[in-house]
Amino acid sequence: MEKIVVVKRKLLFEKIEHFNGIINYNPKLIDLIKNNYELMDRNAAEINEEYKQIIPYFVFKYKDKYFLMQRKKDGVLGNKYSIGIGGHMNESDISDSIIEWGMREFHEEVEYKGQFESKVIGFINDDSNPVGKVHFGILILIIGKSYNIKVKSELKSGFLATIDQINSLYEKLEGWSMFSFNLLMQSL
C-alpha cells in the first residue's frame, strides 16, 4: 500500500477561511502542512473527506509561454488540458523545502533539462466534486531557463503555449488549471 501525505481538513481551515478556488500564497499554510502532515494509505485517503491529500501543482513558464499538457482519454481527468504538473507525495518526498516535496512527481510527469527558479504562489481547493473534496493543491510556479521540456508516457501530449492558445482551450482545462490560469493572469 502506498502511503501518501495528508492533512486533516479541520486543521487546514482552522487557520484560514474555507475557500473554493484559489488563494494567494500564505506562509502560515506552508508551516501548517509541514508541521501537521500525516501518512495514510492512498486507497483510504481517496474516500476519507476528513483529510486532504496534499498535491504540489507545478506550473512551468518559459519566457511568455506556459507548458500545457493534454491527458490521455482514460482516468478522471481524461482528455482534459492541464497547466499543472504534479501528484501525490509520499514519505520519501519529505524534506526541508515544500517545493522539494513535489519534485519527484514533477520529474515523473515531465522531462526537463535546464535550470529554473521556483516559488509557491498559491493554494487550490475545490470541494464542488468528490475528487476535489479529498485533495488540496500547493500552486508552485517554475520559471525555466530553457524551453527543453516534454511529457513522459503517462500523458498524451505537451507543448509551450501562449496565453492566447491557453485562452482558446480554456473550457477544456481541468478545474485546477482554470483556477491557476486565472491567478496567473491577475498577476500580469
User: Under 8 Å CB-to-CB from 166, ≥6 apart: which residues?
Assistant: 66, 68, 83, 173, 181
CB distance 70 to 88 below 8 Å: no
Confidence of residue 71 (pLDDT cuts 50, 70, 90): confident
Neighbours of 161 (CB within 10 A): 18
Neighbours of 50 (CB within 10 A): 10
What pLDDT is stored for residue 188 in this prediction? 63
What pLDDT is stored for residue 59 in this prediction? 97
What pLDDT is stored for residue 12 in this prediction? 93
Above pLDDT 70, what percent of the chain? 94
What pLDDT is stored for residue 86 in this prediction? 87
What's the average model confidence in pLDDT over 168-173?
Answer: 96
What's the average model confidence in pLDDT over 69-84?
Answer: 77
